[in-house]
Amino acid sequence: MKITLIGAGSVVFAKTLLCDILQFPELTDCTIALMDIDPARLKVAEAITKKVVGQLGLPTRVEATQDARRAIRSANYVICMIQVGGFEPGTVLDFEIPKKYGLRQTIGDTLGVGGVFRGLRTIPVINRLAEHIASVGAPGCLLLNYTNPMAMCCWAVDRAVGIPHVGLCHSVQSTSRRLASYAGLAYEDVGYSVAGINHMAFFLRFEFKGQDAYPLLFAKLEEAEFTEDRVRFEMMRRTGYFVTESSEHQSEYVPYFIPHGEKMVKQFDIPLDEYLRRCRGVIDSWRTTEAQLLGGGGGIEIPAQTHEYGSLIIHSQQTGVPRVIYGNVPNRGLIGNLPEGSCVEVPCLVDSQGLQPTCVGSLPPQLAALCQSNISVQALTVEAALTRKREHIYHAVMADPQTSATLPLDQIWKMTDELLAAHQSAGLLGEFSPVIPHTGRAFAGTGDRVIARIDQGRRGLQLTLQNPGSQPVQPTLVARLQTWDGHLLQKATVRPSAPAGQTKRISLPISLPKNLHDGFRVTLSGAGVLAIDLSVPPRRLITDGFELVLGGTPAVQGEIQNAGDRLTMRIRVHDSNVAHGKLPWSGSCVEMFFAASETASPLQVILVPGKGRFAPRLVTADGKAVSGASLQQKSDRSGYEIHLSVPSNSLRLAPDVRTFLFECYASLNALGEAHSGGRTSLSGRFEAHLGAAYYARVQLKPL
């Protein structure tokens, strides 16, 4: 039998696992293969292992190598305990950059932005180890993973490689003992069942000699002098169940504590930056620890077997002695209300047949909801790591409960960009496929799409070719001018070129119809190009009234009448939240465009309602009052109505005008009581005023 330890330079933990394994007589006739990328730490691990073997007088063989594939060759069990990126730069980046943005963490190794980036840099490494196991490991070789983020790593291994594996943690064993102590019970008389996800599994059953012992835990909530595990007891108060992992961890998996300020942090004794302190303490004591472990020329302390599951699994599989452990395994119908394929923590029977997870059924719905908030982050991180799609890194951080409760989206994006750049600069992450700048959408297929568009300019039809890609383009485009009912009038083929990342504009060799009142269409086609047609419907005729509709609901009614050398208008706006913006058109308003003919320059005027001490106004686009305009306003809870009289020449129309072109927009803050606001226009086009062909034709009744 061969047992391989990957990351054996984690000497203290490696020694614990080795002593656990080698104190089973049935497991001593084996080869222990040690692997680490740090030669100094590997040397210490090898010396300590040989000293343990020698002191116990065992036949165990010891190998040491920096080559992971060599260490895994012919292995029956591979124990993974790596930390990709180490304390520096990895962990320091995970903490210090988010801290600049006001995002604080305690441990940051499982969830949150720290967990996301630890997962991104760890998943490629652990998947390579899994591939080695699949190709050179002994048949049925089992990966026992202790590396965090546990659920992300195991989920990625299952998706990408699919080897036998189990994720191991000591939170169930530790917490069960802690609960027995809190309740004042003898541990050997306590029974329990646990299920959920790693670090957020719950004690579904906590019993003393077969009786529900949860009342003893809830009684602690009423003891003022009891101040242990404040976060976990608070979560038990609210959810009804006790969670497996520590209060430090739990405080950063949910949005209820750290984001709410220093007072909350102190109230629940949350140690911010705790993992940084722990890591620095380990580093400071490394040399002392190294000397103690090596023990000079004398013996080495062999501790009693611990409650770590690793040695128990190996012993049960080798001897057939049945045991129940709690393992992190793929959800294949094990927990009904958590996603299939996600990594869940459930009881597992282990014997000579291997690892056999237990079907738990469904969690209480509130617990499943809390788990799901974490699983979403895990799933998106795994997706980003396996597909190399940058957009899913943003999505993972955005979905994190604590991050989303602390930062707005623009800061989440900025922080993520900085973390990515820092990790790549340190050589901890490779490249990811680009996104459209400052978005969560992949650049490929959207941001690099060549777009051709036909617009109506003042001198005819214009073709705009936009090329955001990295290579120049020169597509063949065919434009067809048709009547509104489909009769072909003209056809033109053009081959415009656009350099990489640039936009080219050309005039189309097609003449517009002389009579625009009947409408027309210009269709555009070209291979590999998003071609946008131009459709100008038959011109709308207004003889007195008009209406604007927003989301299928009437939003504005208007009337235009002849008053000699003046126009009179009545505008009724259904806006129940009249609020002004800094600019005339940025709040509730009605924008109107007047043109004497197809070739005349249109005039834009903006009707701004009054409110409070502010009177209604009719102004030009630069905010100047329109000369000679008079306004009267009536308001109610559903909106406002303005009666307007304005000289025709103030609108660039002849004093005796009978016909003119007209377009109208409305911006509403709230349409009635139940609908949000928005922007709508008379023609239904967002920028119809830029082409006079879209304007309606007003025909005034004679006086």
Q: Which residues are catalytic?
A: 170
| Residues 576, 577, 578, 579, Cα dihedral to 10° | -170
Query: Hunting for tokens 């530790």 — which residue is that?
Result: 174
511-528 per-residue burial string, b: 16 or more CB within 10 A, e: under 16: ebbeebeebbbbbbebee
- Do 60 and 28 form a contact (C-beta atoms < 8 A)? yes
Nearest to 337 by CA among 149, 153, 214, 195: 195
Q: Can you state the angle between helices 309-319 and 11-22, rounded to 10 degrees?
A: 30
CA atoms of 253 and 107, how far apart (whole Å): 10
Quote the Cα angle for 457-458-463, to 5°.
20
- Do 484 and 519 form a contact (C-beta atoms < 8 A)? yes
Residue 339's contacts (CB-CB under 8 Å, 6 or more residues apart) are 331, 372, 375, 379
SS3 of residue 152 by DSSP: helix
DSSP 645-671: EEEGGGGT--TT--EEEEEEEEEEEEE
Give the C-alpha distances (Å, rounded to integers) separating 509 from 257, 313, 459. 66, 78, 11
- CB neighbour class for 224 (10 Å; exposed up to 12, middle 13-18, buried from 19): exposed
SS3 of residue 492 by DSSP: strand
N-term to C-term CA, the chain: 106
CA atoms of 690 and 663, how far apart (whole Å): 10
CA atoms of 693 and 458, how far apart (whole Å): 10
